[in-house]
Chain A
Amino acid sequence: MNKTVLQIVRFVALVLLQVLVINHIRLGGYVHPYVYLIFIMLLPFNTPQWQLLLLGFVLGLTIDLFTGTLGLHAGATTLMAFCRPSIIKLVSGNQKFENVQEPNLGQLGGAWFFRYAICMVLVHHLSLFVLESFSFRLMGQVLLRLLLSAPVSIFLIMMVLFIFKSERKRE
């Protein structure tokens, strides 16, 4: 499949998964998992940074249109996209991936991806909950929501990645 088409399909599928399924999961008042960030996580390593930022902004804004919280997800996802290069450097350490074009589970391994997901989710969720709290919640509640939501998000993200890992091999 053409790379651009694949990215568009992934974008649409993840937005729909988020707003039609995940947003309706109710696990008490504090647990709000977000999986749409997989889109930013899986962009090729050589994506220019300005593209990362714009894509993050557009993705967040799309989620915002559905939830009626304009600017909230856009801000958090843009920040996450901004941090992505540093996070990749941080979780890779001394490892070098010469022939790997984009983050994928098959070539980089579950452990690397798990660390990657933890960092990305923490940056995203923390900024999201802080942005939301400027108008509503207090710091204690922000941390509580982070502690409860982040593990669920990471779990769901890893699950989605594992499901689609087998798909990618068949291509």
Chain B
Amino acid sequence: MHNLRDFILKHHVVILFILLEVISILLLANSQRFHRNRMVNTTNDVVGKIYEWSSEVGNYFRLNNANEQLAEENAMLRQQLSIVYDTTTCSYDISQGDTLYKYIPAQVVNNSTNQANNYIIINKGAVDGIQRDMSVISTDGIVGVVTDVSRHYASIMSLLHSKSVVGVRIKESQELASVKWETNNYRYGMVEDIPTHIMLQKGDTILTSSHSYIFPEDLMVGTVEEFYPTAVDALNKAKIRFATDFATLRHVYVIQDLHKPELDSLKARLE
């Protein structure tokens, strides 16, 4: 006993050092495995508040751009509305196929593009109806998936994340593939599983597929920037440019799939 106490006293620095490093690595390993920052939840409101103050200051300088973007979107929505406006009953039918979506507008309060795993924090949380696994889009294209929700804030796993995979469809050929983020550049993503017989051109459009349980169908993901045909492998690759500009991301919409509980319970019954 005496020896043990002496040993601890003598080596307390090294023991503490090893203890702290083990805690760090455990935390890191867990956050990687579940790739959702559950632990952050307790402090997310504090962190969110600080980021919100800071982004409020920045927002004044971006008002012009934001106005333009919103005006453009208004125009686009008006155009779409004219298609679904039913003149006989004077009502709007906003159902898209047989799936109903609800859009919750939110503002980005913090966003990074230069980490290996990027998260976005928005100023809407559980009280606004945000739930885990909801998809997030911007006016230009898809953004990410909600991974964690606190009362007033939510964190989103950005497309710019090492674990992010999105099921997509190539518009021109209807072929299914999946998009990952593998470059260090926030503008580009990778499609790695293109069948050999499919040749892509620069500028081809990549949309979300109906096989993705997270995103609604036919949302803009990006356009092909460079096509890499491979002679050896069975699959071709393509570099795509994300439609969303993550560096200037301000306004986003969280999509609530109103049929998701039904779909989930059906899937649960199948298993």
The verdict on B263 contacting chain A, using a C-beta distance below 8 Å, is no
Stretch at the interface among A38-46, A48-56, A89-97, A158-166: A48-56
Bound-state CA distance A26–B247 (Å) is: 9
Chain B residues in 8 Å Cβ range of A69: 28, 31, 115, 117
Interface assignment of B198: CB less than 8 Å from any CB of chain A: no
Report the bound CA distance from A70 to B23 in whole Å: 10
Stretch in A102-110, A115-123, A128-136 touching the partner: A128-136
- Bound Cα distance A134, B26 (Å): 13
Residues of chain B contacted by A29 (CB below 8 angstroms)? 114, 183-186
Q: Contact check, A26 vs B20: say whether CB atoms are below 8 A apart.
A: no
Secondary structure at chain A's binding surface: helix, strand, loop or mixed?
helix
Determine whether the beta carbon of A136 is less than 8 Å from that of B185: no
When chains A and B are docked, how far (Å) is the Cα of A8 from the Cα of B132?
36
* Given A29-B184, A57-B20, A23-B112 contact (CB < 8 Å): yes
A57 CB contacts on chain B under 8 angstroms: 20, 23-24
Which residues of B are found within 8 Å of A74, using beta-carbon distances?
20, 23-24, 27
B134 to chain A, nearest CB (A): 18
* Chain A positions within 8 Å of B51 at CB level: 20, 66
Cβ A136 vs Cβ B20 within 8 A: no
Asked if A79 lies at the interface with its beta carbon under 8 angstroms from chain B, I say yes
Which residue of chain B is the closest to A85 with respect to CB atoms? B13
Chain A window 18-31, contacts with chain B (Cβ cutoff 8 Å), 1 for yes, 0 for no = 01100110101110
Query: Residues of B contacting A78 with CB < 8 Å?
Result: 17, 20-21, 24
Count of chain B residues with a beta carbon within 8 Å of a chain A beta carbon:
39
| Contact B183–A49 (Cβ < 8 Å) | no
**B interface majority secondary structure:** helix
Cα-based distance from A78 to B112 in the complex (angstroms): 24
CA distance A134 to B20 in the complex (A): 18
Of B39-47, B88-96, B98-106, B189-197, the one contacting chain A is B39-47
Whether B20 contacts A71 by the Cβ 8 Å rule is no
Chain A residues lying within 8 Å of B30, measured Cβ to Cβ, are 70
Task: Knowing A74-B20, A75-B21, A82-B17 are in contact, say whether A135-B119 is a contact too (CB < 8 A).
Answer: no
Q: Closest residue of chain B to A135, judged by CB?
A: B32
Q: A24 CA to B112 CA in the complex, in Å?
A: 7
A57 to B24, CA, bound (A): 8
Contact of A68 among B20, B155, B185 (CB under 8 A): B155
Q: Which residues of A contact B43 (CB under 8 A)?
A: 65
- Shortest CB-to-CB span from B55 to chain A, Å, is 9
| B12 at interface by CB-CB < 8 Å | yes
What's the least CB distance linking A57 to chain B, in Å?
5
Alpha-carbon separation in the docked complex, A49 to B60 (Å): 45
Instruction: Contact check, B27 vs A70: say whether CB atoms are below 8 A apart.
Output: yes
Residues of chain A within 8 A (CB-CB) of B37 are 68, 70
| Smallest CB-CB A-B distances: 6 pairs | A29-B184, A71-B27, A75-B24, A71-B28, A68-B119, A71-B24
Given pairs A68-B37, A75-B24, 10 additional interface contacts (CB within 8 A): A32-B114, A53-B17, A54-B20, A66-B50, A70-B39, A71-B26, A72-B24, A82-B17, A131-B24, A136-B117
Q: Identify 13 residue pairs between A and B in the complex whose beta-carbon atoms are under 8 Å apart, listed by A's number.
A: A26-B113, A26-B114, A50-B13, A53-B16, A65-B40, A66-B50, A68-B155, A70-B30, A71-B23, A71-B31, A75-B21, A131-B24, A136-B116
